[in-house]
A = this chain, B = another copy of it.
Amino acid sequence: MFEEILENINRKHPLVHAITNYVTVNDCANMALACGSSPIMADDINEVEDIVSICNALVINIGTLNERTIAAMIKAGKKANELGLPVILDPVGAGASKFRTETALELLKQVKISVIRGNISEIKTIDQGSGTTKGVDADSNDTVTYDNLDQMIQFTETLSEKTGAMIAITGAIDIVADKEKAFVIKNGHPMMSRITGTGCMLTTLIGAYCGANPDNLLLATAAAVSCMGLCGELTFEKVWAQKEGTSSFRTYIIDFMSNMDVEILERGMKVEIR
Contact = CB atoms under 8 A, between A and B. Distances in A.
Interface in A1-53: 15, 21-27, 29-30, 33-34, 38-44, 46-47, 50-51
Q: Which 8 A-B pairs have the closest CB atoms?
A: A245-B255, A247-B254, A50-B97, A245-B258, A47-B99, A47-B97, A246-B258, A29-B196
A246 B255 CA distance: 5
Contacts of A247: 30, 34, 250-255, 258
Given A38-B135, A255-B247, A44 B65 contact: yes
Contacts of A38: 134-137
A40 B255 contact: no
Interface residues of A, number: 61
Nearest to A55: B135
A68 interface: yes
A96 interface: yes
A241 interface: no
Interface string A234-248: 000000000111111
A64 interface: yes
A23 B29 contact: yes
Contacts of A274: none
